[in-house]
Amino acid sequence: MISRVLSAELAEHAGKRVTIAGWVHRRRQLKSVSFLVVRDRSGLAQAVTAHDLPPEESVVEVTGTVAVSPQAPGGYELVSPEVEVLAEPCVAPPFDLYRPVVGASLPTVLDHAPVALRHPLLRAPLEISAASVAGFRETLDRLGFTETHTPKIVGSATESGANVFGIDYFGRPAYLAQSPQFYKQALVGVFERVYEVGPVFRAEPHDTVRHLAQYTSLDAELGFIRDHRDVMAVLREAVAGMLESVRLRAVSALDLLGVVPPTVPDEIPAIHFTEAQRLTSSSEPDLSPAQERWLSEWAEREHGSEFLFVTGYPMSKRPFYTHPDPARPGYSNGFDLLFRGLELVTGGQRLHRYEDYVRALDGQTEAYEGYLQAFRYGMPPHGGFALGLERWTARLTGAANIRQITAFPRDLHRLSP
Ligand code: AMO
């Protein structure tokens, strides 16, 4: 009986006749014999035949007998194959997908993303990204969090009015959500612990290697905390779970990219903002990208950690919902997590009493009435964080530009494909 198998499973079917399905990754026609390498979701498989072969990226089903072949990918190949072509490409890919390097510039890759991403080296970071999200979900599920889905079309800006996309909503002004911030807080009033994995939108006017106009935010929010340190502890678990999942689920992607995931210390080193200022000889109320890089190197040197928490950012630099540090006027219970020189996460404790919000908004509450309902009806001390998935994957895989590891990036210039 003929059964459909994956290319990675050939060894289990030695001597049998099986069918694999995928794309023609590479064909090599020699004088008397031809090699056909088929790519499917599990990897590559080779078939050997005397016949002509369809061009690269043809979609094929190949039925053949599994035979040992030390030179073939995985050590097995299909002999005496019958090749059925399910679809033929109209044009050749813009660069060879079978070469062990990506032979094209980033703009060429992005312009041809639907086919370029089939290159194993460009696909691998997306596998790492998927495994990371699976680990994030797994960890927060285990810790009693509920996954939620909140609106991406909203009536007011959540983070700052500056980089928000305005849209026309049935004749009324509306915005694309810059974060699920207000909704995740409201849902703490329902579930105590929530998380969300979803797109967020930032009208970033800057063309940088770490900003996108749409990115994937891994958000969490939890109630009944003492202060921001309880949030940091959950974040440490989430990051450890993401790395564990990558190690388990993305083995071949890690191998292909030559990436060894870092370990997370049991306790991630943490320094107060004022200490960060002292270390970088700065008196600025925020950290520059160069200072973040320097601090990361310092953490690696002093603490052997690729992760570093900076806590207690000045209140003036955090959004209005941030809880102040009761012990240090002017400073907040907000934190950032730096990873390999880059801000990966922002989080903190939030205000939870209605009157504190009225004060923080200087009484200008009209635009926020929907949000403030939660606090009118009683909210526990709570806090949360948001981790930028693309920044995470870029840092993990060593990609210099966030666009390299984003399937169809949106930025200042790019709206298609
Ligand atoms: P913040 O605005 O700092 O915080 O965003 C959280 C994290 O999202 C990532 N990030 C980005 N990634 C790609 N392109 C961008 N344009 C971009 N902007 C931000 C970063 C950043 O650390 N509501 C708060 C979070 C919270 O307190 O829970 C917020 O959105 O990795």
For the segment(s) 7-87, the CATH number from 2.40.50.140, 2.60.40.10, 2.30.42.10, 2.40.33.20 is 2.40.50.140
- Give the pLDDT mean for 292-311: 98
Residue 410 assigned ligand-binding role: no
| Per-residue pLDDT at 228 | 98
Residue 383 DSSP one-character state: E
Ligand 1: distance of its center to the CA of 193 in Å? 20
Here the ipTM equals: 0.99
| Per-residue pLDDT at 159 | 77
- Give the pLDDT mean for 236-260: 98
Ligand 1: distance of its center to the CA of 272 in Å? 20
| Per-residue pLDDT at 55 | 96
Residue 414 assigned ligand-binding role: no
pLDDT band for position 157 (cuts 50, 70, 90): confident
Residue 267 assigned ligand-binding role: no
Ligand 1: distance of its center to the CA of 77 in Å? 47
Q: How far is CA 248 from CA 41, 130, 242, 244, in A?
A: 17, 12, 10, 6
Residue 399 assigned ligand-binding role: no
List ligand 1's pocket residues with C-beta within 6 A. Answer: 159, 179, 181, 202, 204, 211-212, 215, 217, 219, 343-348, 384-386, 388, 390-391
Q: How many other C-beta atoms can be found within 10 angstroms of the C-beta atom of residue 163?
A: 16
| Per-residue pLDDT at 158 | 75
Task: State the Cα–Cα distance between residues 12 and 1, nearest whole angstrom.
Answer: 15
Instruction: Give start-end residues of each CATH 2.40.50.140 domain in the chain.
Output: 7-87
Q: Is the pLDDT of residue 387 over 90?
A: yes
pLDDT band for position 1 (cuts 50, 70, 90): low
- Give the pLDDT mean for 150-161: 85
Instruction: Give start-end residues of each CATH 3.30.930.10 domain in the chain.
Output: 120-405
Atom of ligand 1 nearest to the CA of 345: 22
pLDDT band for position 2 (cuts 50, 70, 90): low
Nearest protein Cα to ligand 1, atom 27: 347
| Per-residue pLDDT at 51 | 86
For the segment(s) 120-405, the CATH number from 3.40.50.720, 1.20.1250.20, 3.30.930.10, 3.40.50.620 is 3.30.930.10
Ligand 1: distance of its center to the CA of 92 in Å? 39
Specify the DSSP element, H or E, that contains 221.
strand 214-223
Task: State the Cα–Cα distance between residues 200 and 213, nearest whole angstrom.
Answer: 8
Q: What is the pLDDT of residues 255-277, one digit of tens each?
A: 999 999 999 999 999 999 999 99
Atom of ligand 1 nearest to the CA of 402: 13
With contact defined as beta carbons under 8 Å apart, do 124 and 256 qualify? yes
Provide, rounded to the nearest whole percent, the portion of the chain with pLDDT above 70.
99
With contact defined as beta carbons under 8 Å apart, do 400 and 391 qualify? no
Cis peptide before 417 (omega within 30 of 0): yes
